[in-house]
Amino acid sequence: MARKTLALAVLIAGFTAASALAQQPPRIVSPEILPDGRVTFRLNAPKAGDVILTGEFLEGNRRLEKGADGIWSVTVGPVEPEIYHYNFTIDGVRTIDPANPQLKTGSTASTITSVLEVKGASPAFYDAQPVPHGDIRTHWYHSKSLGSVRRLTVYTPPGYDENRSSRYPALYLFHGANADENAWYRLGRANLILDNLIAAGQITRFVVVMPFGYGVPPGQAQAENTAKFGTDLIQDVIPFIQSRYRVFTDRGQRAIVGLSMGGGQALNLGLNNLDLFSYVGGFSAAIGNAANHARTFAKLTSNVEEANGKLKLLWVGCGTEDSLFAPNQAFSDFLKTSGVTHTFHRTPGAHTWSVWRQYLREVAPKLFPQT
Rounded distance, CA 117 to CA 263, Å? 25
Q: What is the pLDDT of residue 261?
A: 95
Q: What is the pLDDT of residue 93?
A: 95
How many Å separate Cα 249 from the centre of its chain?
A: 27
Q: Which of 144, 168, 142 has its CA nearest to residue 154?
A: 168
Q: What is the pLDDT of residue 89?
A: 97
Average pLDDT across the chain, whole number: 92
CATH code of domain 26-118: 2.60.40.10
Rounded distance, CA 101 to CA 104, Å? 10
Task: Report DSSP letters for 241-297, one per residue.
Answer: HHHHS-B--SGGGEEEEEETHHHHHHHHHHHT-TTT-SEEEEES-----GGGHHHHT
Domain with CATH 3.40.50.1820 in the chain: 135-366
Task: Give, in order, the Cα–Cα distances in Å from 148 to each of 31, 144, 177, 221, 339.
Answer: 41, 7, 20, 18, 40
Whether 26 shows a pLDDT value over 80: the answer reads no
Whether 242 shows a pLDDT value over 50: the answer reads yes
Q: What is the mean predicted confidence (pLDDT) over 155-163?
A: 95
Whether 16 shows a pLDDT value over 50: the answer reads no
Q: What is the mean predicted confidence (pLDDT) over 192-218?
A: 95
Rounded distance, CA 321 to CA 318, Å? 9
Whether 219 shows a pLDDT value over 90: the answer reads no
Between 108 and 6, the higher pLDDT residue: 108
Q: What is the pLDDT of residue 265?
A: 96
pLDDT digits (tens, 9 = 90+) for 111-120: 899 999 999 9
Q: Which of 69, 58, 84 has its CA nearest to residue 25?
A: 69
H or E segment and range at residue 193: helix 190-199
Whether 10 shows a pLDDT value over 70: the answer reads no
Whether 17 shows a pLDDT value over 60: the answer reads no
Whether 15 shows a pLDDT value over 80: the answer reads no
Q: What is the mean predicted confidence (pLDDT) over 76-85?
A: 96
pLDDT digits (tens, 9 = 90+) for 262-295: 999 999 999 999 999 999 999 999 998 999 999 9
Buried b or exposed e, range 241-254, using 16+ CB within 10 angstroms: beeebebbeebebb
Q: Edge to edge, what strands does the sheet with 148-156 contain? A: 135-143, 148-156, 207-211, 170-174, 254-259, 279-283, 313-319, 343-347
Whether 222 shows a pLDDT value over 80: the answer reads no
pLDDT digits (tens, 9 = 90+) for 142-152: 999 999 999 99
Q: What is the pLDDT of residue 277?
A: 98
Task: Give, in order, the Cα–Cα distances in Å from 82 to each of 41, 56, 96, 151, 349.
Answer: 17, 10, 19, 29, 13
pLDDT digits (tens, 9 = 90+) for 307-331: 999 999 999 999 999 999 999 999 9
Rounded distance, CA 339 to CA 80, Å? 40
Q: What is the pLDDT of residue 371?
A: 56
Q: Which of 134, 139, 174, 142 has its CA nearest to residue 153?
A: 139
135-366 falls under which CATH superfamily? Alpha/Beta hydrolase fold, catalytic domain (3.40.50.1820)
Q: Which of 294, 332, 337 has its CA nearest to residue 314?
A: 332
Q: What is the pLDDT of residue 25?
A: 59
Q: What is the pLDDT of residue 297?
A: 96
Q: What is the pLDDT of residue 343?
A: 98
Report residue 24's pLDDT band, with 50, 70 and 90 as the boundaries: low
% residues pLDDT > 70 (the chain): 92
Report residue 13's pLDDT band, with 50, 70 and 90 as the boundaries: very low
Domain with CATH 2.60.40.10 in the chain: 26-118
H or E segment and range at residue 299: helix 298-301
The conformation of residue 80, written as its DSSP 8-state character, comes to -
Task: Give, in order, the Cα–Cα distances in Å from 126 to each of 143, 196, 315.
Answer: 33, 8, 21
- Quote the pTM value: 0.90
Is 216 in contact with 225 (CB distance < 8 Å)?
yes
Is 272 in contact with 299 (CB distance < 8 Å)?
yes
% residues pLDDT > 90 (the chain): 86
Instruction: List helix spans (H) across 70-189.
Output: 183-186
